[in-house]
């Protein structure tokens, strides 16, 4: 297929997607703006008839793709994302079919940008400490997903979203696989239970596919496949390049299938050894040599953070993550509501008696002030008692009762 034909097909999809702007679907959602266009769907910011702002993701697949398979995957995204039940996972409000027969999902609208957007502006935009914080948040979502027997299969920078309130979201469960061990009748029907892709199919983002994905060994894909992708993201952020650079997708997949990743510190000796060790283990060619699960990798991430910052691992989740110093353009992307994530705020010294609150404001820590205030109150009470006794003694001395 010629590049000119592919370019024309993409332009046709863009025009078709833009023609929907201004339409009201199902008499409820007015499509306001096209904010994203992928291979299988267009995403719009939209307004409900009562004024609520949402994101609408409408299925609009490339005609060359298998329509039935794409529709099944599209609906599975909604179900699996909600099944994760984690505030960092994208959550879907509703799924519907519009008047023209197009399937769509209704999601809440996020304000911020993806990690891919940030990398496009600056390949090393995050500090090592910030990378550890972001990865910790992503691993927390993956741990919840893996507990439900869900493997994301497409963890890559474009699916990691930073909200302006300091939250981190993991988007797009469209490629996720689910192997339920349950008596839930909805799962037992097979409607949402994913099957391995066809042997001739290619999906995901090549630079972040694990060796077993590159080999299309679908029976070998499990939770450790997602951890390889997390390691590849860390590698990219720390070294400024992908694990296996190549001029073509075919060459990149071939390298992933056959070559062991380079050591992180070999490419950039400035990367702290405690961090490089975590990355190298996640990128192990043999999945049995990787971290056993997301929580074990998360513990290692927190230990590395504690080593670098001398902060207690237990306070890791309270650490600052302010990623919008340069004020990137606002972009609406579907995801979970910002307020569902505990605000990530700066950790201040214990002696300050101030703790951060949402939006950067601060409040007095009354617990920290309780002890000194109690001592002052006791002293004041003693002084008052002495004054009362002195006054009473003076009155008795001047006016004796006998």
Query: pLDDT tens for residues 195-207?
Result: 554 434 446 789 9
Closest CA to 198 of 182, 218, 170: 218
When pLDDT is averaged across residues 106-122 and rounded to a whole number, the result is 91
In sequence order, the β-bridge partners of residue 37 are 42
Higher pLDDT, residue 96 or 314? 96
d(CA 264, CA 273): 9
H/E stretch holding 16 reads helix 3-19
- Could you count the other beta carbons within 10 Å of the beta carbon of residue 214? 19
Structural domains for the chain: 112-347 (1.10.510.10)
Output the six-digit token pair for 296: 């074990």
| pTM for this entry | 0.73
Least-confidence region, from 5-9, 165-169, 244-248, 254-258: 5-9
The pLDDT assigned to 312 comes to 55
Q: What is the mean pLDDT of the chain?
A: 79
Among 19-33, 134-148, 298-312, where is mean pLDDT lowest?
A: 298-312
Write down the residue that tokens 């990743």 correspond to.
261
Whether the per-residue pLDDT at 212 is higher than 80: the answer is yes
Distance, in Å, from the CA atom of 232 to the CA atom of 282, rounded to the nearest integer, reads 8
Q: Any idea which of 144-148, 162-166, 364-368 has the lowest mean pLDDT?
A: 364-368
> How far is it, in rounded angstroms, from Cα 76 to Cα 145?
14
User: Using an 8 Å Cβ cutoff, are 308 and 279 in contact?
Assistant: no
pLDDT at 335 over 90: no
What's the pLDDT score for residue 395? 72
Query: What phi, psi does 316 have (nearest 5°)?
Result: -55, -40
The C-alpha atoms of residue 38 and residue 254 are separated, in whole angstroms, by: 25
Which residue do the tokens 């399937």 mark?
103
Predicted confidence (pLDDT) per residue in 364-374, tens digit: 333 433 445 56
Widest distance between CA atoms in the chain: 120
pLDDT at 362 over 50: no
Sign of the CA dihedral with 99 first, then 171, 211, and 118 last: positive
Beta bridge partners of 30: 24, 47
pLDDT > 50? residue 135? yes
Q: What does the pLDDT read at residue 68?
A: 76
How far is residue 253's CA from residue 343's CA, in Å, rounded to a whole number?
39
Residue partners of 309: CB distance under 8 A and separation at least 6: 129
pLDDT value of position 249: 93
Q: Under DSSP, is residue 184 helix (H, G, I), strand (E, B) or coil?
A: coil
What pLDDT was estimated at residue 136?
97
pLDDT of res. 65: 60
Q: Which residues are CB-contacts of 91 (< 8 A; sequence separation ≥ 6)?
A: 81, 82, 107, 108, 335, 336, 337
The CA-to-CA distance between both ends of the chain, in Å, stands at: 120
The DSSP bridge partners found for residue 58 are: 42, 104
């Amino acid at each position: 297929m010629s590049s000119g034909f592919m370019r024309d097909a993409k332009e046709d999809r863009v025009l078709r997607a833009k023609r929907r702007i201004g339409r009201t679907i199902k008499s409820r959602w007015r499509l306001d703006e096209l904010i994203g266009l992928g291979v299988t769907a267009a995403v719009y910011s939209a307004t409900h008839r009562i004024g609520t702002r949402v994101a609408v993701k409408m299925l609009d697949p490339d005609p060359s793709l298998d329509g039935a398979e794409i529709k099944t995957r599209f609906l599975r995204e909604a179900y699996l994302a909600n099944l994760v039940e984690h505030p960092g996972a994208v959550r879907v409000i509703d799924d519907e079919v519009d008047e023209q027969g197009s399937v769509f999902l209704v999601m809440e609208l996020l304000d911020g940008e993806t990690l891919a957007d940030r990398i496009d502006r600056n390949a090393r935009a995050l500090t090592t400490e910030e990378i550890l914080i972001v990865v910790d948040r992503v691993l927390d979502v993956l741990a919840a997903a893996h507990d439900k027997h869900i493997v994301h299969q497409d963890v890559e920078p474009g699916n990691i979203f930073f909200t302006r309130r300091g939250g981190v979201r993991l988007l797009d469960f469209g490629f996720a696989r689910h192997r339920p061990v349950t008596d839930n009748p909805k799962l037992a029907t097979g409607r949402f239970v994913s099957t391995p892709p066809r042997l001739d199919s290619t999906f995901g983002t090549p630079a972040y596919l694990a060796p077993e994905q590159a080999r299309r060994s679908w029976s070998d894909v499990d939770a450790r496949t997602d951890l390889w992708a997390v390691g590849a993201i860390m590698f990219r952020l720390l070294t400024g390049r992908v694990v296996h650079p190549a001029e073509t997708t075919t060459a990149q997949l071939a390298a992933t299938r056959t070559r062991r990743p380079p050591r992180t510190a070999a490419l950039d000796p400035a990367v702290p050894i405690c961090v490089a060790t975590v990355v190298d283990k996640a990128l192990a060619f043999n999945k049995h040599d990787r971290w056993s699960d997301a929580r074990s990798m998360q513990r290692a991430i927190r230990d590395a953070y504690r080593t670098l910052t001398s902060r207690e691992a237990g306070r890791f989740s309270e650490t600052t993550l302010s990623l919008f110093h340069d004020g990137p353009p606002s972009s609406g992307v579907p995801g979970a509501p910002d307020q569902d994530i505990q605000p990530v705020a700066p950790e201040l010294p214990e002696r300050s008696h101030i703790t951060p609150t949402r939006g950067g404001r601060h409040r007095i820590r009354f617990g920290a002030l309780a002890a000194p205030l109690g001592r002052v109150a006791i002293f004041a009470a003693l002084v008052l008692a002495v004054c009362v006794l002195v006054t009473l003694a003076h009155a008795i001395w001047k006016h004796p009762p006998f």
